[in-house]
Chains A and B, each alone.
Chain A
């Protein structure tokens, strides 16, 4: 191994955009970083998507000595380590202690910020006003139900701890619904944890439902805790378009929020980041704008879904490159000039069933705003709601210089796409 080779370590996987980000870093910093990927041998089916530029190391992440052994030859040459996706945070927490001289967040912070319960507890400790009332449940007995009603009240949201997205997230308005939903959740949670290769112990968070509008923001946290924010993103959930499900139906950036409102959101987001002691990481924060001010829904020590594409199109922000710069101790570059309005739509079938056909894809490809259409399911696949572990039938990225034209194209997409079930 030549001494001059410097590596950027990706935990579990590197996406094509990650590969591109390394190339951009190389150009920007006049370097020649290579990509190194470390994988858990138990994580089957996840491989680097661009093998040509990756060096892949595989070991058992359950054994610290196995990680140490496989990293040993590279330790002096790894200059940064990062990961993509919520599900890889726990794996990163196992790897980071073996590369102690790099800029990354602590393993404990990674665990806290991927555990909905620990997160809530830390938020509450930092500032109770930024988080809703909550309690933790391990079973469905009468005592637990009584505690939920007393401590949280209705309406409430059931959130299995440690699950990403809106998997098994359920809203309950009364006791009967709570009992049924909790039983269902505990029955399914084990199965989903297994399918998602979860190694953590299932626990369920029950929290007060917050009424308001949902937003999110990605931020870069330096080693010293300084925070730079990317533009805010408005999020419309499935609930607001008639689904009994919390999936993120539409994201749109920039928002219509005033500067003063954004500043207030930043104050609350900062409190949340500092509450879980995150540093040297990109953070994705979901917020609720309520009548009583901004509240934290949750955060993750990662780049938010679709944010790489959204920020690139809206402000020419190289989000993944910034994530690497942050880990390299460099300042992220956040251009302020807006290039376009960007939206991501996740389309689900109105009912659950077997997918027959998706009509209208060809038609919407002609729309001026369309940037990307990703079909996630094919004919014969099961269409399930997000709360039941289902994926969107398709994801659509749209961008336009003018907001009204973007909204018009969103409307055309909504009117053109017809998801047929058998």
Chain B
């Protein structure tokens, strides 16, 4: 069946919520020919919706907010909250070229921007890119490189060996493979399953026995986690040399001609730094205490990594390590970093979500470097794994002056696992204060107040 922008047809099998979406899509609109659709892939969170509404005001222009998502997956709870407010919602079978074609070809002349917010939607974005040819996007190839930790390492090392650690790829746990790792790399090493987001199944190994045991565990669990998380491609495991240093991250906007605009840096304290044997991002804070020279060096290395991945017309989130041998790239993704829209809004008063649109127009993003305050995002995990039996102190921490947002992800009875075992945090919190000392004081109060107990 042929679809046009004036007459959409959606499979009749769709019911319930999808029926509403269908109505929305089927209903002809009077302004359909205008090139003003901001098309998001996979997810569109409430904060983004409001940021885009603000953007409309700033630009004095109306946009149509659209979401395309894989109809085989459920919308996440945050997108569900906002989905009814969107102008266009396109459920589509991403495994079918025909379905993508039918859904997107009619909108080709109306889509102004194609983007995504989440790390786990990058490969979905890559699927959509070829069907939206008349907008500024990264190439689908560069998107795919950036979602594959192994391809990423290869490109980074090919570009400049000094910015990334030595690594190798493992496909099994045979003695021969372990020996090759030991002969090739220097311990300690980090084990990272390729294609998994965040710090899922990431572990540090200091010696042969630990490596062998951990790899076995990873290969046992990886299939299940890949399935549950929608991990990309055939399970492969990356083993790379561990770099010692202080972790930071930076978001950047890359124009269609390779011009880079850097946002302020964010310091990252991982679970490892507070006694966990886990690499989740415990505390992310901006502005940092880095001096201008250090920031310039970090930006230089980040720029090299973006060029290595041939990324363009996108926001890029780059994770860096400040080592004695200079800045190194941990990894990068063609997306906004987690919590960054809030950190940058509260600390520097600029609209990161809008800038992600501007760079794809392509227009110069509006970055403010003068700090308005200090912002921190924190993820709280249980100290041990088990069933959550108590989450105390939540009411009290809501009295903290710096508290901006609190997201409780687990309730009593839920299973708490470490990030490396595929677990998510018990709660996340955003804190903001004009004064860094007061922000640190509230972080301290928070740490002393919250009691997460498992059994």
Interface residues of A (CB under 8 A from B): 153-155, 173-174, 177, 211, 213, 240-243, 256-258, 261, 290-292, 404-405, 407-412
Contact = CB atoms under 8 A, between A and B. Distances in A.
Given A213-B246, A407-B187, A411-B206, 14 more contacts: A154-B437, A154-B440, A155-B437, A155-B440, A155-B441, A177-B441, A177-B444, A242-B274, A243-B275, A257-B324, A291-B294, A292-B291, A408-B206, A411-B207
A409 B187 CA distance: 11
Given A155-B437, A240-B273, A256 B291 contact: no
13 contacts: A154-B438, A155-B440, A173-B444, A174-B444, A242-B275, A291-B289, A291-B291, A292-B291, A404-B187, A404-B188, A405-B207, A410-B206, A411-B210
A412 B207 CA distance: 9
A258 B443 contact: no
B324 A261 contact: yes
Contacts of A213: 246
B443 A173 contact: yes
B324 A256 contact: yes
A211 to B, nearest CB: 6
B188 A258 contact: no
A153 B441 CA distance: 11
B437 A241 contact: no
Contacts of A155: 437, 440-441, 444
9 smallest CB-CB distances across A and B, nearest first, come from A242-B275, A174-B441, A408-B207, A173-B444, A411-B206, A404-B187, A154-B437, A173-B441, A408-B206
Contacts of A404: 186-188, 206
A346 B275 CA distance: 16
A385 to B, nearest CB: 14
Contacts of B275: 241-243
A257 B441 CA distance: 32
Contacts of B324: 256-258, 261
B56 interface: no
A212 B275 CA distance: 17
A154 B441 contact: yes
B408 interface: no
Interface string B422-444: 00000000000000011011111
Interface string B292-319: 0010000000000000000000000000
Contacts of A256: 244, 323-324
Given A173-B443, A174-B444, A408 B187 contact: yes
A19 B207 CA distance: 39
A36 to B, nearest CB: 45
Interface string B179-212: 0000000111000000000000000001100100
A222 B294 CA distance: 37
A213 B323 CA distance: 12
A400 to B, nearest CB: 12
A241 B271 CA distance: 10
Contacts of B291: 291-292
Interface in B405-420: none
Interface string B4-18: 000000000000000
B369 interface: no
Contacts of B224: none
A213 B445 CA distance: 24
B290 interface: yes
A243 B274 CA distance: 8
Nearest to A213: B246
Contacts of A154: 437-438, 440-441
A407 B188 contact: yes
B181 to A, nearest CB: 12
Contacts of A211: 289
B207 A174 contact: no
A393 B290 CA distance: 37
Contacts of B445: 173-174
B199 to A, nearest CB: 17
Nearest to A171: B444
B440 A173 contact: yes
B68 to A, nearest CB: 44
A412 B324 CA distance: 26
A241 B275 CA distance: 4
A155 B207 CA distance: 38
Nearest to A174: B441
Contacts of B438: 154, 174
Contacts of A240: 273
B276 to A, nearest CB: 8
Contacts of A174: 438, 441-442, 444-445
A234 to B, nearest CB: 9
Interface string B262-303: 000000000001111000000000000111001000000000
A292 B187 CA distance: 31
A316 B327 CA distance: 33
A271 B192 CA distance: 45
Contacts of A411: 188, 206-207, 210
B342 to A, nearest CB: 23
Nearest to B324: A256
Nearest to B291: A291
A409 B210 CA distance: 11
A242 B381 CA distance: 14
B322 to A, nearest CB: 9
Nearest to B189: A404
A410 B210 CA distance: 13
B285 to A, nearest CB: 11
Contacts of A242: 274-276
A174 B274 CA distance: 20
Contacts of B210: 408, 411
Contacts of A408: 187-188, 206-207, 210
Contacts of A173: 437, 440-441, 443-445
A379 B95 CA distance: 64
A136 to B, nearest CB: 20
A287 to B, nearest CB: 15
A375 B80 CA distance: 59
A368 to B, nearest CB: 11
Nearest to B244: A256
A177 B448 CA distance: 11
Contacts of A243: 275
Nearest to A292: B291
A313 to B, nearest CB: 20
B274 A407 contact: no
B193 to A, nearest CB: 21
A296 B159 CA distance: 40
Contacts of B441: 154-155, 173-174, 177
Contacts of B274: 242
B184 to A, nearest CB: 13
B206 A407 contact: yes
Contacts of A290: 289
Contacts of A409: 207
Nearest to A289: B324
Contacts of B276: 242
Identify the interface centre among A173, A243, A258, A410: most chain B CB within 10 Å of its CB. Answer: A173
A291 B437 contact: no
Nearest to B293: A291
B352 to A, nearest CB: 25
B82 to A, nearest CB: 37
Nearest to A256: B324
A257 B245 CA distance: 11
A410 B186 CA distance: 16
A411 B277 CA distance: 11
